[in-house]
Amino acid sequence: MSEPLRARDQRLAPRGLNREQAAAYIGISASTFDKLVEAGAMPRPRMAETRKIWDIHEIDRAFDELPHEGASLMAANQAGSAVSDWN
């Protein structure tokens, strides 16, 4: 017999995250996450009706493009990085 759906739901890793979850996922505050979205360093959300949802795979790709300490976001953009593709 299969498990009830609600029991299985707790084990599923979400594909979409709300703003606060997306920020926490990469270890920053929601306001800093907003700034990165505005700068094009993090993806814009997808829309599900009126809900804004960030795709965890897009966040992963954007995070991989963030500059390391000592480098700048502008330098990453000038080097042809995919960072600006999120706009």
pLDDT tens, position by position, 44-86: 999 999 999 999 999 999 999 999 998 876 666 665 555 555 5
Report the half-sphere exposure of 55 (CA within 13 A, side-chain side).
Answer: 10
- Name the pairing type of β-strands 16-17 and 51-55: antiparallel
Does residue 8 have a pLDDT over 90?
no
Boundaries of every domain in the chain: 15-86
pLDDT of res. 11: 78
Global confidence as pTM: 0.71
CATH code of 15-86, in short, is 1.10.1660
pLDDT of res. 30: 99
- Tokens for 14? 């979400």
